[in-house]
Structure 1
Amino acid sequence: MTTILLTLGVILLTLILFISEWLPVDITALTIMVLLIVLGLVTPEEGISGFSSSATITVMAMFILSAGIARTGAIQIVSELLVKWGGKTSSQQILALGVIAGPISGVINNTAVLAVFLPIVEDLCRQQRISPSKLLIPLSYATILGGMITVIGTSTNILASGLSDKLGYGTFSLFQFTKLGLLTFTIGLTYLVLIAPRLLPNKKAAGSDTQEYGLQDYVSEIVIPPGSSLVGQTLRSTQIQRKFDMDVLEIIRNETRFAQPLADKILQPGDILVVRGKRECLLNIKAERGIDILPDVQFGKKSLEEDLTSGEDTIAEVLILSNSDLAGSTLKDFRFRQRYNLTVLAIRRGQEFVRERLGKVPLRFGDLLLVQGPKQSFVGLQNSRDLLVFEQRDMESLRREKAGIAVAIGVGVVLVAAFDLFPILVSALAGVVLMVVTGCLKPGEVYSAVRWDIIFLLAGLIPLGIAMENSGTTKWLADNLVSLGSSFSPYWMLTFFFLITALLTEVLSNNASVVLLLPISVQVAQTLDLNPFAFMFAVTFAASNSFMTPIGYQTNTMVYSAGGYRFLDFFRVGAPLSLLMTVVIPPLIILLYGL
């Protein structure tokens, strides 16, 4: 009983760490792994077994395959159909999005699919003058639902397949729950098309970025008079940007505009500096360095946005990705301007805007940055693994001539696994090698394609499942659940596991929910002499049934700031969908697979 209590204590600590987010989820998982070894609940070999698990390696390979297909522009080519099929109403556009993005998410990582579609949807919304908030939550939900069509659609499915193998039931075949996945996708998409448009907010204006971010009061022009102490110095040597919390976006000299990089530009009398900063900061510079602040009318007939995007400069929104080195860092620590030759004008987090002391704000996954700088700098940024540029990618920068090869490799991997010629692990790794050999991916891109946070999360959590099994915790919890639910019918027991998993996955990672609950559900099924696969499918589907919060699933977090949503917007649209799935999935499992 002592080991059971220790294991329960570790589980409780795991829940607290995941819910509180004191540490990133991957570091939390590694912490739990080390703790399990130190407490003797697993051996060192069992503790690190997650790194050699077939599930972990398969997920890693699928990330690389997804990147190979994305880098060749194969998804962009398909996404062009969205413009043709989109129509003019939200329902038509959501239907087109779902029909295109959903099935793709069944074979390509849904986070990668969303990353490709985000700029396309933003561009479509600008063209049609509609709010992105009307489409981005449905896009996220469609990729979540689509990821449940095959075993390789999400890392959660692959992990559940690996756990099934460890429990003695073998791995899931590629299309083992495809019938259920297609039915739930169809039901979910029907809800998104018919009901969701009435519940979705209309918050983010499809206007100019500077208006949306409220920068009118934060961007000004200052002139350097002959007597200023700034004359003859470079921007770097003056240190005005560092000292006064401001950024110089452009220097205008005799109608000539100088864009970034500006740090070594020598300032001359009469230079006009376009700067981002509070009026108080500009008044401090005026008192200390002798500059003049020009009135807003100096922008002339142009709008602020036109002024900042004239010449070689442009403005765009960029999203911080989950595996970005920027997450947890600050712009100053990351040396953002020096690294990318771009200036951050404002930060958006949900509906919150940050326009002051930008260099000192700790950044998070899902933050949206409004960035200004030379157009050429954005071309380089499109290949960054840290940031996603919210404008359609220049197709010339993609390896379009390799698109057919990449798709053929992806189809080959699926077919080999579907016909059981080789396990999915082997076919996926073979696909990775072919992606590099054929030039679809460069060798250096292989490592940047992997979501290492997910890999370490999986590897760190797998020992927790082993500890639960070794200590008897799984059996103890299952026996108590059977005792408590002795009056429940098998249907209600199945529904109970679906519901508890769906609720748990909203506050934990979906992978953590599967690791904790799938072995318990199987033990309950064995005790009650029911179909273990029915319970495994219920837990697996419920773990990806994350619609009620922007933090429960990666794709929800990615659209949170991009759509200008509030936290409760996800609950308003997602709670009815979660309830619908809870009502329909257990009966469908019983109908299709028996109980």
Structure 2
Amino acid sequence: MEPQQIVFLAILATALALFVSGRMRVDVVAMLTLLALTFTGILDARQALAGFSSEPAIIVAAVFVLSAGLSATGITDRMGAAIGRAAGGSEWRTIAVVMPATAALAAFSHHVMVTAMMLPILMRLAREQKLAASRLLMPMSLAASLGTTLTLFSAPAFLLAGDLLKRAGGGGLDIFAITPIGAVLVALGTAYMLLGRWLLPKREGDGEAQPGDYLRLERYYTELLVERDSPWIGRTRGEFEQAFAERLQVVDWLRHGMRRRRQAGDSPLAAGDVLLVRASPDEIASIKDEPGLALHAVAKYGDKPREDGQDELLGEEQLVQAVVAPHSEFIGRSVSDIDFLRTLGVVAVGLWRREGWLHGELSEVRLEEGDLLVLWGRQPEFETLAAHHGFLMLMPFQGQEKPRRRAPLALAIMIATVAAAATELLAPQIAFLAGAVAMVLCRCVPIEQAYQQIDVRIFVMIAGVIPLGIAMEQSGTAQLVADLLMAHAAHWPVFVLLLVMFGVAALLTQILSDAATTVLLAPIALAVAQSLGLPATPFVVCIAMGAVASFLTPIGHHGNLLILTPGKYTFGDFLRVGVPLTAAIALATAWMARWLWLDGPLWPALGG
């Protein structure tokens, strides 16, 4: 063993120890590793910094922005809601619908974001249909991870694998090169979960409302005003409900402050009508962008001058939610009696109540202990309000404004980006970078939100671990390990070697990220393929697949951590479900890789 290889192995061992210990952030460890490789002379400055301008790092950052655009315009929410409706009320149908649909979403977005989006939808479905959430959340999370095997840009591991193959003199991978394998894995995972549902835990109370649900609110009551010159004037209530079916629920209809006696679906709306609706926080925050509609309380009070001569509320306002405290002076009084604008300088625009339905004008509802009000005002007023003993607490309103009118444009940008990369009209990194810029320029997502959505840790980590792979090749360590492996496995069938590649990556990814695992093992796979005189693509792809599609523990994928508490899962649950599934995925991946790139048989009966 040469001195440079000994130094490299020492750096690698230290980096692995820091990655596993969790004492430092992964991006910091990656930067320290990069510097160590430079200071020891294993890499020069250009090689050490190559990761920051690499195709994988640029595409990963761009995908975060594209995903933010789809989320900000409400596209992912609509798709998630549609999936929830199609799931029906039975457990098997929910799994059969949710898994392929979730995988399809994850193929063009970030799988953790998709998991987070589907989590409340399935929790609500479990409560309504009296199903155990633990029987639904794990299949959904696994499907989100399997969905990343459908396209090259869905997971950093595949981008890094393609980059390595390109640097090795091959043609790299196009964005749909792994799609046949991914499609088989999604179908296999869905079938496995349907047939092996008995492996999933079923614990009492999983589908019931949890104590923490109190602050994870999904629907508030608020009032919408049909403004003058609104495009909704003359159109029927039925048309309105159909247009907003996925976004809000009409509870009552007021005209001139009185309840409409006839509230049939074919009754036309008129200017000044007020609709009492149940809406999500995002819809309340976004309603000002709907032509001809406004929050009634803001339209009624918000632009009136204050008695003390201050400017109107509109202009620097924000939404805050406040809980009515026990024994509060507001209990039993209506919103109009309290006159929030005059006495507290804010406007009440929405209300959430744990039980019961509200009817009639919101301002006439008498408050109860525990009611949660959505208040509209300026920061100075809220600072004063925070000290008021009538409220238990003030919390930021969690709704995000969604420019839903730009949803078709955001979808068109995403489709054009993928098409440009797939047809090689543009280089993949340029196509995705252009798509991310288009999302911002077309105001599908604010620039500040776009930057916030980029996970800098992942970007820096990818840029930092790419030199680790270069150093493994350049120092000869990859060839050394490959020679040791081939000394014992030279006569093994290629199919078995592909399984070994997958299995080693599957084990290592339980303690490292999929990107780090791929960077460390792909050079070894490349050297093994060269030793056998075979194409490197199937060996490197099996490494990346093992890093992405192994489900042995809950810590192997960030999406699993999101469902751990809501599903009341244990470590053993993931082992019981994940070990057979990972074994089946390994066999399917090795078989498909041999068929795609080594001319192996697709069906066993065909020989070979």
Which TM-score applies when normalising by structure 1? 0.71
In structure 1, the residue matched to 2:550 is: 546
Structure 1 residue 431: Cα displacement: 0.7
Which residue, 252, 276, 295 being the options, matches 2:327?
252
Whole-Å Cα distance in 2 between the matches of residues 105 and 505 of structure 1? 20
Whole-Å Cα distance in 2 between the matches of residues 424 and 35 of structure 1? 31
Structure 1 residue 115: Cα displacement: 2.1
In structure 2, the residue matched to 1:14 is: 15
Whole-Å Cα distance in 1 between the matches of residues 332 and 162 of structure 2? 59
In structure 2, the residue matched to 1:562 is: 566
Query: Compared with structure 1, are the counterparts of its residues 83 and 28 closer, same or farther at alpha carbon in structure 2 (3 Å cutoff)?
Result: same
Within 5 Å, give how 1:107-146 maps onto structure 2: 107-146=108-147
In structure 2, the residue matched to 1:296 is: none
The answer to whether the 8 Å contact 2:64/2:110 transfers is yes
**Range that drifts further, 58-67 or 543-552:** 543-552
Which residue, 373, 391, 397 being the options, matches 1:312?
373
RMSD: 2.7
In structure 2, the residue matched to 1:333 is: none
In structure 2, the residue matched to 1:584 is: 588
In structure 1, the residue matched to 2:463 is: 459
The answer to whether the 8 Å contact 2:65/2:436 transfers is yes
Whole-Å Cα distance in 2 between the matches of residues 552 and 211 of structure 1? 26
Whole-Å Cα distance in 2 between the matches of residues 373 and 25 of structure 1? 36
Query: Compared with structure 1, are the counterparts of its residues 77 and 594 closer, same or farther at alpha carbon in structure 2 (3 Å cutoff)?
Result: same
Query: Compared with structure 1, are the counterparts of its residues 572 and 378 closer, same or farther at alpha carbon in structure 2 (3 Å cutoff)?
Result: farther
Q: Secondary structure at the match of 2:325?
A: strand
In structure 2, the residue matched to 1:512 is: 516
**Range that drifts further, 184-193 or 22-31:** 22-31
Whole-Å Cα distance in 2 between the matches of residues 41 and 62 of structure 1? 32
Per-residue Cα deviation, 1:137-195 (whole angstroms, up to 9, x for no partner):
11110011111011112122112212222222133111112111111111111112221
In structure 1, the residue matched to 2:477 is: 473
Per-residue Cα deviation, 1:387-432 (whole angstroms, up to 9, x for no partner):
xxxxxxxxxx322111111111000011111111111111111111
Query: Compared with structure 1, are the counterparts of its residues 212 and 121 closer, same or farther at alpha carbon in structure 2 (3 Å cutoff)?
Result: closer
Whole-Å Cα distance in 2 between the matches of residues 197 and 401 of structure 1? 44
Whole-Å Cα distance in 1 between the matches of residues 169 and 393 of structure 2? 57
Q: Secondary structure at the match of 1:256?
A: coil
Per-residue Cα deviation, 1:313-341 (whole angstroms, up to 9, x for no partner):
89xxxxxxxxxxxxxxxxxxxxxx99xx8
The answer to whether the 8 Å contact 2:95/2:139 transfers is yes
Structure 1 residue 536: Cα displacement: 1.3
Whole-Å Cα distance in 2 between the matches of residues 143 and 167 of structure 1? 31
Unaligned 5+ runs, structure 1: 214-247, 259-300, 315-336, 343-371, 384-396
Query: Compared with structure 1, are the counterparts of its residues 486 and 83 closer, same or farther at alpha carbon in structure 2 (3 Å cutoff)?
Result: closer
Whole-Å Cα distance in 2 between the matches of residues 149 and 37 of structure 1? 36
Per-residue Cα deviation, 1:233-282 (whole angstroms, up to 9, x for no partner):
xxxxxxxxxxxxxxx99352346399xxxxxxxxxxxxxxxxxxxxxxxx
Structure 1 residue 497: Cα displacement: 0.8
Aligned residues: percent identity? 29
Within 5 Å, give how 1:353-364 maps onto structure 2: none
Unaligned 5+ runs, structure 2: 215-322, 334-354, 357-366, 376-381, 600-608
Q: Secondary structure at the match of 1:5?
A: helix
The answer to whether the 8 Å contact 2:94/2:136 transfers is yes
**Range that drifts further, 67-76 or 581-590:** 581-590
**Is 1:440 paired with 2:444?**
yes
Query: Compared with structure 1, are the counterparts of its residues 254 and 111 closer, same or farther at alpha carbon in structure 2 (3 Å cutoff)?
Result: closer
Per-residue Cα deviation, 1:470-502 (whole angstroms, up to 9, x for no partner):
211111111111112123222211111111111
Per-residue Cα deviation, 1:116-150 (whole angstroms, up to 9, x for no partner):
21221222122223232211111110011111011
Within 5 Å, give how 1:48-447 maps onto structure 2: 48-202=49-203, 205-210=206-211, 250=325, 252-254=327-329, 256=331, 309-312=370-373, 377=395, 379=397, 381-383=398-400, 397-447=401-451
* Paired letter, 1:119: P
Q: Secondary structure at the match of 2:327?
A: strand
Which residue, 508, 530, 534 being the options, matches 1:526?
530
The answer to whether the 8 Å contact 1:204/1:563 transfers is no
Whole-Å Cα distance in 1 between the matches of residues 92 and 194 of structure 2? 5
Structure 1 residue 504: Cα displacement: 0.8
Within 5 Å, give how 1:467-506 maps onto structure 2: 467-506=471-510
Whole-Å Cα distance in 2 between the matches of residues 537 and 110 of structure 1? 19
Whole-Å Cα distance in 2 between the matches of residues 40 and 249 of structure 1? 65
* Paired letter, 1:485: A
Whole-Å Cα distance in 1 between the matches of residues 469 and 67 of structure 2? 28
Whole-Å Cα distance in 2 between the matches of residues 308 and 32 of structure 1? 56
Whole-Å Cα distance in 1 between the matches of residues 393 and 582 of structure 2? 42
The answer to whether the 8 Å contact 1:59/1:155 transfers is yes
Structure 1 residue 583: Cα displacement: 2.2
Q: Number of aligned residue pairs: give it.
A: 447
Structure 1 residue 511: Cα displacement: 0.7
**Range that drifts further, 154-163 or 467-476:** 154-163
**Range that drifts further, 35-44 or 578-587:** 35-44
Whole-Å Cα distance in 2 between the matches of residues 253 and 176 of structure 1? 63
Structure 1 residue 308: Cα displacement: 6.9
The answer to whether the 8 Å contact 1:525/1:531 transfers is yes
Q: Secondary structure at the match of 2:176?
A: coil
Structure 1 residue 584: Cα displacement: 2.1
Query: Compared with structure 1, are the counterparts of its residues 461 and 201 closer, same or farther at alpha carbon in structure 2 (3 Å cutoff)?
Result: farther
In structure 2, the residue matched to 1:2 is: 3
**Is 1:35 paired with 2:39?**
no
**Range that drifts further, 473-482 or 195-204:** 195-204
Structure 1 residue 208: Cα displacement: 3.3
Query: Compared with structure 1, are the counterparts of its residues 204 and 159 closer, same or farther at alpha carbon in structure 2 (3 Å cutoff)?
Result: farther
Structure 1 residue 519: Cα displacement: 1.1
The answer to whether the 8 Å contact 1:313/1:373 transfers is no
Query: Compared with structure 1, are the counterparts of its residues 31 and 197 closer, same or farther at alpha carbon in structure 2 (3 Å cutoff)?
Result: farther
Q: Secondary structure at the match of 1:312?
A: strand
The answer to whether the 8 Å contact 1:104/1:113 transfers is yes
Structure 1 residue 203: Cα displacement: 5.4
The answer to whether the 8 Å contact 1:201/1:569 transfers is no
Whole-Å Cα distance in 1 between the matches of residues 374 and 550 of structure 2? 40
Whole-Å Cα distance in 1 between the matches of residues 163 and 369 of structure 2? 52
The answer to whether the 8 Å contact 2:535/2:598 transfers is yes
* Larger CA Rg, structure 1 vs 2: 2
The answer to whether the 8 Å contact 2:165/2:536 transfers is no
Whole-Å Cα distance in 1 between the matches of residues 369 and 590 of structure 2? 55
Structure 1 residue 462: Cα displacement: 0.8
Structure 1 residue 205: Cα displacement: 2.9
Structure 1 residue 307: Cα displacement: 8.0
In structure 1, the residue matched to 2:245 is: none
